[in-house]
Structure 1
Amino acid sequence: MSIGEFARLAGVSVRMLRHYDHLGLLVPERVDPWSGYRSYGAAQLERANRIVALKDLGFTLDQVGRMLDGGLSQEDIALLLSERREELRSQIAADRHRLAAVEARLRVIQKEIPMTEYIETALPELHVVQQTARIEEMSQIEAEIGYMFTRVNEAIAAAGAPHVGPGVAIYTTDGDGMIAAAAEQIGDAETPPGLERATVPAASRALTGRYEADDLLGIQRAWQDLVAEGERRGLSPAGPAREVYLETPMDPAGTRWVVDLQQPVG
């Protein structure tokens, strides 16, 4: 069949078939010595399909050639496929993160923030066990805090300590950065290995609001609105901010996020 007909059946361009021929990847069955016209056989479609499939997986044409012509062992091919799988997983994870960031930014712009009324109240002193991390960029918070809560609760479960209150994220300004803490309340139980004891100071005055949603994509905007409301009331932040997780989808009976945002003010 002609190069045009073969290109149609293989799902590639004539230009690409000529490129494959130049590289020795897919050589025509016959080339007319006078006209230079290339002719292909139906049996070559299987090789064309493999080239396209491997190329779509992200392999270079050099790698494709070695894989098809036996230049690589089965172990080498398996290693290449494993490496490509990890690259694709990382790419998918990065794309999901970017999509979440876009959705969060849209909520900020559109102000779709499920918040109850703001209340001025006092905050009690909390005694917690925690893990902390210094945050330089706000984009780090989402990645860090989730992992820290996982480690904290795994340590608590391993120690058999009871929970006596909801989990709390605590954000303390530290120069140009911030110290983020994932904290749980376990009363007087012995401190599990790997965790530290801490006391969150009481606040005589704080502005609070409750965030309720199926996810946390709108929580940044909720904090922005809470602080803006504080400014309208002539208040300014005056101590570590708290997120108290009254309900989460990870709870045994939890279905959504119910979070008290608590900002001590002066």
Structure 2
Amino acid sequence: MSVDQIPIGKFSFMTRLSQKALRLYDRKGLLVPEAKDPFTGYRYYTVPQLEKGMKIKTLSFLGFSLEEISMLLDAESTGNYEQMGACFRKKLEETQSEIWKLQRIEGILQGACKHNGKIVEIFKMSVTEPVIKEIPEIRVVSKREKGTFAVTIGKLIGEICACVDSPENQRNRIKVTGPVMFLCHDEEYKETDADIEIAIPVSGRILVEDPKMEIKAIPAARVVSIIYRGPYLGVEAGYNRVFSYAEENNLEPFGPSRELYFNDPAEVPEEELMTEVQVQIREK
């Protein structure tokens, strides 16, 4: 053994990677020891491999698979930082989606603790009686793209608000004339690749620099409307009430549904969130 060779036990201690993990990385070709004893098969590493070991440990902690780690290390070695950036952005979106899911789970479990685990109380939703409304044409600034609900809705709201609040648009005295609106263009629920449009009603002359953002008029519509109070996770209770009402009254839902958000989840508890669900209807 030369002086710069590090036995697997010591290398494991220095990198905080278990010997089991190091043997796996060896088999996968991810972190191959610089030398192996031909008689004992004992593995020896070198000082330069410490940095690679720490990179693997960090990427593994961030949730990357061994295949993704291998790709990232190869991309780094060849200077392909664009590929690395795309991989990190994808992982960020997945993480944000998981955080959103865990926050919803946390809210439900907190409710379960408050109500001693009574299932009926946990899922008790506040939904108003359905009403038919005539909604006039609405001028909005909107942006539409595909993605997950947890990430894309918040992202689009932030981008549109940034546009409205830009110094030039504020000098033009742009006014927001209604709540943030989510329009769902899908005919079925999609975990990913959902067709999402966010629109904010505005008045005044507005400058839009984002080519994917537009000023347009959302057509007038006759809708069945309910107000739902509670976590966004339970808004399905509102849709259930709307579609039941439509069926009972021989009405046919069609077109994109709308959700109007009357308060901010960053400012009020989940149980106080107010969402209006609007579904366009016509006589069967």
1:72 alignment partner in structure 2:
none
1:27 alignment partner in structure 2:
35
Which residue identity is paired with 1:53?
M
2:220 alignment partner in structure 1:
201
2:62 alignment partner in structure 1:
none
1:71 alignment partner in structure 2:
none
Provide Cα deviations, 1:170-206, integer angstroms capped at 9, x if missing partner: 45689xxx9854322334x224436323143142xx4
Cα distance in 1 for residues equivalent to 2:156 and 2:269: 21
Cα distance in 2 for residues equivalent to 1:151 and 1:37: 61
SS of 1:236's equivalent? strand
Aligned-pair distance for 1:259? 0.9
Cα distance in 2 for residues equivalent to 1:228 and 1:55: 53
Cα distance in 2 for residues equivalent to 1:167 and 1:19: 53
Distance 1:232 1:54, change over 3 A: same
1:131 alignment partner in structure 2:
142
1:162 alignment partner in structure 2:
175
Which residue identity is paired with 1:114?
M
Provide Cα deviations, 1:57-115, integer angstroms capped at 9, x if missing partner: 45559x69xxxxxxxxxxx669589965763553253254267569989x9xx994734
Distance 1:260 1:40, change over 3 A: closer
SS of 2:233's equivalent? coil
TM-score (norm 2): 0.55
Cα distance in 2 for residues equivalent to 1:167 and 1:248: 10
1:162–1:186 Cα contact (<8 Å) kept: yes
1:170–1:241 Cα contact (<8 Å) kept: yes
Distance 1:55 1:141, change over 3 A: closer
2:143–2:160 Cα contact (<8 Å) kept: no
1:150 matches 2:154: no
Who wins on radius of gyration, i.e. which is larger?
1
1:94 matches 2:94: yes
1:115–1:209 Cα contact (<8 Å) kept: no
Which residue identity is paired with 1:186?
V
Q: How many residues align?
A: 226
2:131–2:226 Cα contact (<8 Å) kept: no
TM-score (norm 1): 0.58
In structure 1, runs of 5+ residues without a counterpart are 65-75
2:263–2:274 Cα contact (<8 Å) kept: yes
Distance 1:173 1:27, change over 3 A: closer
Correspondences of 1:165-180 after superposition (within 5 Å): 165-171=178-184
1:129–1:197 Cα contact (<8 Å) kept: yes
1:132–1:179 Cα contact (<8 Å) kept: no
Correspondences of 1:1-266 after superposition (within 5 Å): 7-8=8-9, 10=12, 11-13=18-20, 25-27=33-35, 36-37=39-40, 50=51, 52-56=53-57, 57=59, 60=70, 87-88=87-88, 90-97=90-97, 100=100, 112=123, 114-133=125-144, 144-158=152-166, 159-160=169-170, 161-171=174-184, 181-187=197-203, 189-193=204-208, 195-203=214-222, 206-214=223-231, 216-220=232-236, 222-238=238-254, 241-249=257-265, 254=268, 256=270, 257-265=273-281, 266=283
SS of 1:217's equivalent? helix
2:115 alignment partner in structure 1:
none
Cα distance in 1 for residues equivalent to 2:40 and 2:177: 81
Single out whichever of 237-246 and 178-187 deviates more from structure 2: 178-187
2:113 alignment partner in structure 1:
none
2:142–2:216 Cα contact (<8 Å) kept: no
Identity of aligned residues (%): 12
Aligned-pair distance for 1:234? 3.8
SS of 1:247's equivalent? coil
Aligned-pair distance for 1:134? 7.2
